[in-house]
């Protein structure tokens, strides 16, 4: 076997068949430069049941290109009838995998929220992540003073521009500058 080329679509979802390297591979197949495609598993070709099915059942056979899928134990060089069914089942599974993972992540985040656990990267201004409990936030006393001053100023009828002028005169850092100058979001070593 001689390796003709590698096709790697980093940064592209397998649910999208409009990927530059996949297109390049298909062009090389149609130009008869490739006669065997080797993938780690079928999901690397794509996660769209219809388009991957078209590739497996129509395009590759049309150009007499064999498929080897290492982790799926599919060997197109020694193809057996049962691998056809296996390819179809894996293709269906691969299409549903991103939805399944997305639902699991959403469920886990919802459960954490219901249990009162904080789940985003940074706490809202005026709070900070606890050093001792991963998903708990506590009051950030320095920033909380600024938040109270802002609310008091609004209550006293000051405009947004007047409040910004006061913050600038007192050289109070913006929320993002405050986060950058604290341990917020950084791993704390004990």
> Are 28 and 34 a contacting pair, CB within 8 Å?
yes
Exposure of 90 by Cβ count < 10 A (0-12 exposed, 13-18 middle, 19+ buried)? buried
- What proportion of the chain, given as a percentage, has pLDDT over 90? 30
CA-based nearest residue to 88, from 38, 52, 37: 52
Residues pairing with 139 in the sheet? 127
| Cβ-Cβ contacts under 8 Å for 112 (sequence gap 6 or more) | 119, 135
Interval 5-25 mean pLDDT? 88
pLDDT tier for residue 185 given thresholds of 50, 70 and 90: very low
The residue ranking higher by pLDDT, 17 or 147, is: 147
Q: Please give the span between the terminal C-alpha atoms of the chain, in angstroms, as a whole number.
A: 54
Say if residue 34's pLDDT is above 90: yes
- Is pLDDT above 60 for 148? yes
pLDDT digits (tens, 9 = 90+) for 51-106: 888 888 888 889 999 888 888 777 777 765 545 555 665 666 666 667 767 777 88
Domain ranges for the chain? 20-110, 127-180
Residue with tokens 């894996």: 90
Instruction: Give the pLDDT band (50/70/90) at residue 8.
Output: very high
Helix (H, G, I), strand (E, B) or coil at 66: strand
What pLDDT band is residue 112 in, cutting at 50, 70 and 90?
A: confident
Average pLDDT, the chain: 82
pTM value is: 0.48
Task: Enumerate residues 6+ apart whose C-beta is below 8 A from 126.
Answer: 139, 140, 143, 144, 146, 147
Domain 20-110 sits in which CATH superfamily?
A: Resolvase, N-terminal catalytic domain (3.40.50.1390)
State the Cα–Cα distance between residues 123 and 129, nearest whole angstrom: 6
> Any idea how long the chain is?
190
Q: What is the CA radius of gyration of the chain?
A: 27
pLDDT reading at 20 higher than 80: yes
Q: How far apart are CA 84 and CA 42, in angstroms?
A: 13
């Amino acid at each position: 076997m001689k390796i003709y080329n590698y096709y790697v679509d980093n940064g592209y979802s397998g649910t999208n068949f409009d990927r530059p390297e996949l297109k390049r591979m298909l062009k090389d197949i149609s130009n008869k430069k490739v006669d065997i495609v080797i993938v780690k598993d079928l999901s690397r070709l794509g996660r769209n049941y219809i388009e991957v099915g078209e590739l497996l059942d129509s395009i590759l056979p049309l150009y007499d290109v064999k498929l080897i899928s290492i982790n799926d134990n599919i060997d197109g060089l020694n193809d057996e009838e049962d691998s056809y069914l296996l390819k179809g089942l894996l293709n269906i599974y691969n299409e549903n995998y991103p939805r399944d993972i997305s639902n699991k992540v959403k469920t886990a985040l919802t459960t954490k929220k219901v249990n009162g656990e904080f789940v985003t990267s940074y706490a809202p201004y005026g709070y900070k992540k606890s050093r001792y409990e991963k998903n708990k936030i506590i009051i950030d006393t320095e920033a909380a003073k600024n938040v109270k001053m802002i609310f008091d100023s609004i209550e006293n009828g000051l405009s947004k521009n007047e409040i910004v002028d006061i913050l600038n005169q007192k050289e109070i850092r913006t929320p993002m500058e405050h986060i950058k100058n604290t341990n917020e979001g950084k791993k704390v070593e004990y």
